[in-house]
Amino acid sequence: MTDTTETLDAIGLLCPLPVLKARKRLKPLTIGSILEVHADDPAAVVDIPHFCQEAGHELVEIRDNSAHQVYLIRKGG
């Protein structure tokens, strides 16, 4: 199990807000920190992995709960 540094509740937010809020929340974290993002926007399944790839962060895990997804993002350098 991965230790979460911060949690972002993006449930109810639509594209591009989950990614924009994740970017803002990751900024002050130290490299290697984990941000746990909860989102129910259907576009987040594409947007968050793309954001991680473009920004140099690692998408550690995607979990699908009944009502939303949980993304674990490790801050990159």
Sorted by where each starts, the structural domains of the chain and their CATH numbers stand as 6-74 (3.30.110.40)
Q: Please check whether residue 62 is in contact with residue 69, taking contact to mean a CB–CB distance below 8 angstroms.
A: yes
Concerning whether 52 is annotated as a catalytic residue, the answer is no
pTM metric for this prediction: 0.94
pLDDT at 2: 65
Determine which one of 5, 11, 13, 15 is catalytic.
15
pLDDT at 66: 87
Each residue's pLDDT expressed in tens, for the chain with a length of 77 residues: 567 889 999 999 999 999 999 999 999 999 999 999 999 999 999 999 999 999 999 999 999 988 999 999 999 98
Burial class (CB in 10 A: 0-12, 13-18, 19+), 65: exposed
